[in-house]
Amino acid sequence: MLKKLKWIKYLPLVLLLVIFWSLLRVNNVVNFSGGIAASILTLVCFVVIAIEFAKSGDISLGFFIWEVITSVAATIVGTATFTLIFSQNSSFYLQDVFMGLLILFDAVFSVINSFRTALRNWAASIGPTA
């Protein structure tokens, strides 16, 4: 089962979710003041946080670079969207807070966990020094 899901670690889930949220938010496609769409987006945020933390738990040094690049890209897209929201004096919704927290989590905690794991794996591959 887990071997079939190995491809998911290469998928930048946070970046894809942030781009999707940005397109919905900037184009006013969905009403975020309540309803099913807002609830689904909130639920997806929590699922993505769990998946991101789990997939950053066992990575290689090369994948660490990929994790950092996608985190920086998600931060850039999220910052641009928040800047656009505030510059247009648009309403600020609870889902925007969840997206901001998701971006912050991905930029800080996920990268720290990836770095810790990459260092551990690197140290294990070179063996003990005496």
* DSSP single-letter state for residue 16: H
The answer to whether position 130 is within a domain reads no
In a domain, residue 3? The reply is no
* Residue 129 within any structural domain of the chain: no
| Residue 7 within a domain | no
Full residue range of the structural domain in which residue 107 is found: 12-120
Q: Is residue 5 part of a domain?
A: no
In tens, the pLDDT along 40-84 reads 888 888 898 888 877 777 677 777 788 888 889 999 999 999 998
9-36 per-position pLDDT tens digit? 778 888 899 999 888 888 888 877 777 8
At residue 90, φ and ψ (nearest 5 deg) are: -75, 165
Name every residue whose Cβ is closer than 8 Å to that of residue 92 and which is 6 or more positions away in sequence: 85
How many structural domains are present in the chain?
A: 1
In angstroms, the Cα distances linking 31 to 6, 24, 26, 108 are 35, 9, 11, 30
